[in-house]
Amino acid sequence: MRVGVGVWSMQSVAHRPTSQARLYRRLVEDARLAEQVGLDSLWLSEHHFWYDGHCPAMLPAAGAVLGATDRLGVGTAVLLLPMHDPAGVADDALRLAALSGGRFQLGVGLGYREAEFDGFGIRRRDRGRLMDHHLGVLLDRWRQASGRPAPVLVGVASQAAAARAGRFGLPVFADSTMSAEELALVMASYREAAVAAGVPVPASQGLQRDVWVTEDPERDWRMLLPELRVMRRQYGGWSFPPEPGESLPAYLERLEGDVQAKLRNLIFGDVPHVVAELRRFETLGFDLVVCRTQFMNVPRQDLHRSMGGLGRVQEALR
């Protein structure tokens, strides 16, 4: 099993503001550390139209990381394909893969925020149709240029999205929000769709999971829980804003419910515990787990300590 780390979004959030230039310098520094501790890959995230400067163009950032490292894989988690020109994405991704010796992986997804679709002049309800069309264009362009299949993973958080990946014969990149039971249903839909389409199921599948490696659980829990609550409230504000007429206490209670749902899937503990938890996903067919650690926007010294633990997890899983 391969262990990646993610997701780098270069956000300057309200409770920890930082200059964008510094955040992109830190991306390169963190990538070098990920390579040093033996991790398989580092993953980036894309979003648009929010105050924090969330990375809007992952492929140039990925190129910077690939140029600063020798072995580390770099991936997108995920590029919001309906909002892009698929031929341009294919060409840029092909260049990154060629120049890096095959170290680049393209993860693509539907997107979900109304504001982003509005900003690009796209109707959210058209995203499935656009995803199907754009995937077809991207894959055809890649095959014509290189003579081989594109290294594309399809982000999925539902059975319908998994079925789309299955029809295209592409590996999934399963979202961290799903439980093991939900993942089993998603993978069943994926395989059924692949069989119905007459395409082989790829041997390699990807999964995102919130993971924190620690040798001092009490210390890190005191640090992590407030960070997680701040993070979920920030994302709650942009992904599901208050309903019309909803009171502030009711809205905060709803956000806290989202925090609790996140905690149920969080893998938190020492190296043996994390190794045992990640092994459970091998039986579902996943051989790549991107451990979302940076997503929590924790203090830098704590992030690096947990990344070192992930390196030991990777060593144990080999």
* Residue ranges covered by each domain of the chain: 2-215+268-317
Angle between helices 180-197 and 159-168 (to 10 degrees): 40
Q: Tell the burial category of 140 from Cβ atoms under 10 Å away from its Cβ (0-12, 13-18, 19+).
A: middle
Count helices and strands in the chain by DSSP H and E runs: 11, 10
pLDDT per residue as tens, the chain (318 positions): 999 999 999 999 887 889 999 999 999 999 999 999 999 999 999 999 988 999 999 999 999 999 999 999 999 999 999 999 999 999 999 999 999 999 999 999 999 998 999 999 999 999 999 999 999 999 999 999 999 888 899 999 999 999 999 999 999 999 998 989 999 999 999 999 999 999 999 989 999 999 999 999 999 999 988 887 777 667 666 666 777 888 888 887 877 777 777 778 899 999 999 999 999 999 899 999 999 998 767 889 999 999 999 999 999 999
Kindly report whether the global pTM for this prediction surpasses the value 0.85: yes
Rounded distance between C-alpha atoms, residue 211 and residue 113, angstroms? 25
Choose among 114, 116, 61, 105: nearest CA to 83: 116
CATH class of 2-215+268-317: alpha beta
Burial letters for 271-288: b for 16+ Cβ neighbours within 10 Å, e otherwise? beebbebbeebeeebbeb
Rounded distance between C-alpha atoms, residue 41 and residue 311, angstroms? 11
Residues shown for the chain: 318
Q: Do 180 and 281 form a contact (C-beta atoms < 8 A)?
A: yes
